[in-house]
Amino acid sequence: MKRVKEERIKGGLSDLKPVEIRLVKGEAESGLWKQLVSTHHYLGYKRAWGRRLRYLVWVGDGAIGAIGWKSGALKLQSRDYFIGWSVVQRKQSLFHILNNDRFVIAEEMRVKNLASHVLARNVRMVRGGLGKPLWGEAVPVGDLHRPGAVFR
């Protein structure tokens, strides 16, 4: 049975192996993803529009985290200025950009470097699985003073 892992785990990555990251499939996993995001992410769950990818982070038979990606924002002044593209270039190139919509590790997971390990692995998975080149991923840092395993 698929469920959210609720036991508190402390230590290092080697204490937690294997960590698996899998694409969300089916209603049961979709429900787990929504539960983790609703419970542990400071913005909660909101239905994302457009193209999206959702992943669950697993340890054993329990989900400990959720990651969500969506298509790049149509207009984002700071990004567009940084890249230096014109309106035409942006329209032609936007599908090469992904935005990280949600990233959460359950607060019970007190594992040093877990968040960066999971995010780096997931970025490699996304880049390898899309069948098109990705030029960048936007991962907002958010408020570093918020509670949560990722912000410690």
123 is a domain residue: yes
CA–CA distance, 150 with 142 (Å, rounded to integer): 11
List, for residues 76-118, the tens digit of each pLDDT value. 888 888 889 898 998 888 888 888 888 988 887 777 888 889 9
- The DSSP element (H or E) to which 27 belongs, if any, is helix 26-40
64 is a domain residue: yes
List, for residues 8-56, the tens digit of each pLDDT value. 677 778 877 789 999 999 999 999 989 998 887 777 677 766 678 899 9
88 is a domain residue: no
114 is a domain residue: yes
Question: How many domains does one find in the chain?
Answer: 1
Number of separate helices (H) and strands (E) present in the chain: 4, 8
List, for residues 110-141, the tens digit of each pLDDT value. 778 888 899 989 988 888 777 666 766 666 55
| CATH number, domain with residue 56 | 3.40.630
- CA angle 96/128/101 to nearest 5° reads 55
13 is a domain residue: yes
CA–CA distance, 3 with 98 (Å, rounded to integer): 28
Of 151, 107, 116, 119, nearest to 4 (Cα)? 107
CB 114 within 8 A of CB 151: no
150 alpha-carbon distance from chain centroid: 11
Of 142, 129, 58, nearest to 100 (Cα)? 142
148 is a domain residue: no
What's the longest Cα–Cα distance across the chain? 51
More confident residue, 9 or 148: 9
Which domain covers residue 117, as residue numbers?
Answer: 3-71+100-139
Residue 80, SS3 per DSSP: helix
83 is a domain residue: no
84 is a domain residue: no
